[in-house]
Structure 1
Amino acid sequence: MKISARNQLSGTVQSLDHGAVNGTVKIDIGGGNVITSSITEEAIADLGLSVGNRVTVFVKASDVLIGK
């Protein structure tokens, strides 16, 4: 698969929290870092996601916000 996003991080599905329409997926990318993504339940099913799966996180954003 080719994709234009340059920010690609490999990791392992740590947890899935299912909702009515969207679910929350936590991906352990190593070094004590976890990325959380909210995606549709349909996408979770289509990808066949389950805890322990190796996945790639693609980050494509026009804005990155930092607060303190």
Structure 2
Amino acid sequence: MKISARNTLKGTVKKIVPGVVSAEVTLEVAPGVEVVAVITKSSADSLKLSLGKEAYAVIKATEVMVAVD
């Protein structure tokens, strides 16, 4: 896989919550560290996502903000 995004996190699919139009996908990228993405149901189907399958969280953003209380 070649991609222009610089931030990719390899993980394992831990949870999929399918909806009518979208799917919420949880990837575990390290023990106890999860990334959740909402993608189209069509994309989830075409990627053949299933529990335990390896996948990548690809993060493409122009800004990353940090906040504290």
TM-score by length of 2: 0.89
Name 1:23's counterpart in structure 2.
23
Task: Spell out structure 1 runs of 4+ moving beyond 6 A.
Answer: none
1:1-68 paired onto structure 2 within 5 Å: 1-68=1-68
RMSD: 1.1
CA distance in 1 between partners of 2:17 and 2:23 (Å): 5
Structure 2: segments with no counterpart, 5+ residues: none
TM-score by length of 1: 0.90
Q: CA deviation at 1:8?
A: 1.1
CA distance in 1 between partners of 2:44 and 2:31 (Å): 25
Number of matched residues? Answer: 68
Q: CA deviation at 1:18?
A: 0.5
Q: CA deviation at 1:56?
A: 1.3
